Structures are given as C-alpha cells and as structure tokens.
C-alpha cells in the first residue's frame, strides 16, 4: 500500500494488506526485517527525517510510532481518527507527524508525547493526500472534494484553499516543490 525511503537512501519501509511492515535494503534488493504491526490492513508508512521514528497506520484509524533503534519495543499509539488513515508525513525536524484520513480530517501530532496538537477540519470529503512543506511551516491536504488546503502547522489553521471544480476525478495526491 505505501512505501517510505529512509533518510540514508539505502533502506525503505513498506506496508501491506497483511499488516506487515517490511524493511528493505535498496542496494542489495533484500528484505532486512519484517514484523506484524497491526491486526487490520496497513495503508500508510513514514520515516522521520532524522531516522529516529517509523510511523504506520491503516484501516483501524490507529497510528503507531516505532523507535527505529528498538523495533521490538512497544510502539506509541496515536488515536483520534475515525476512519482509514490514508497518509502520514513527518515534519522536517521530526518533532511532528501529520496524518490524513477518510474521516475528512487531518491531524498534527507531537511525536514525543503522542498528543494531537490540532485537528484540521474543513474538507467536505475524505482526505487522500498530504505533504509537509520543506520548511516545516505548512501542510497541504488533497481531498476527494476536489480541493487542496494549505494549513499552518504552528496554528492548525487554513491559510489557503485551492479549488479544482472542473477536474473529472477527486484529488488523491499533493506535494511541495523544494523551492
């Protein structure tokens, strides 16, 4: 369902319908580590920019944050979504995790304490895509309501709404350019 490349560019993590997290060595093309991360299918994975955290989420709406230095330890559970979590992304400083869901909301989480800092409400349909800006100040969400919303990470408020009413299909992805 989803894949995240580690900051070293040598490894990646993937998640699947069988609730498995697989960590791959990209240079050798080999599976390095595999573990079961949930009882229901997984749909999203992210690795923090400092290589400290691995976040997974899926059909249960629950997010799990694992320490990459000890994958055998119990993960931190982040709860609040009431639908499938579609995407996860860490801020560049690795302090916050952003999630979006079929419940029409996105959330900004404090990684260390596991608390939801903001619930980003405003879309009229499920949110399928998200991206954090390179400077870590904004997050963009893409929804099946054919809008993209730009939010302040520090305040949890909408900064801009972009509407594409003429698109024949809902929006499922969004990204920021490096500049």
pTM of the model: 0.94
**C-alpha dihedral (139, 45, 178, 93), degrees to nearest 10:** 70
Distance of CA 101 to CAs 4, 120, 122, 136, Å? Answer: 18, 11, 13, 20
**pLDDT, tens only, 1-17:** 899 999 999 999 999 99
CA atoms of 118 and 96, how far apart (whole Å): 11
Q: What is the pLDDT of residues 33-78, one digit of tens each?
A: 999 888 899 999 999 999 999 999 999 999 999 999 998 889 999 9
């Amino acid at each position: 369902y989803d894949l995240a490349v580690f900051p070293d560019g040598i490894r990646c993590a993937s998640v699947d319908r069988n609730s498995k997290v697989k960590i791959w060595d990209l240079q050798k093309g080999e599976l390095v580590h595999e573990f079961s991360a949930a009882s229901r299918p997984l749909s999203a994975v992210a690795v923090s920019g400092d290589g400290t955290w691995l976040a997974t989420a899926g059909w249960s709406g629950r997010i799990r944050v694992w320490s990459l230095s000890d994958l055998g330890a119990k993960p931190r559970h982040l709860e609040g979504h009431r639908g499938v979590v579609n995407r996860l992304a860490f801020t560049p400083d690795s302090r916050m995790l952003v999630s979006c869901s079929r419940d029409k909301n996105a959330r900004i989480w404090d990684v260390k304490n596991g608390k939801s800092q903001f619930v980003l409400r405003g879309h009229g349909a499920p949110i399928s895509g998200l991206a954090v800006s390179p400077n870590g100040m904004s997050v963009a969400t893409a929804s099946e309501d054919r809008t993209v919303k730009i939010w302040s990470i520090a305040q949890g408020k909408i900064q801009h709404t972009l509407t594409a009413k003429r698109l024949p299909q809902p929006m499922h992805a969004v990204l920021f350019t490096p500049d």
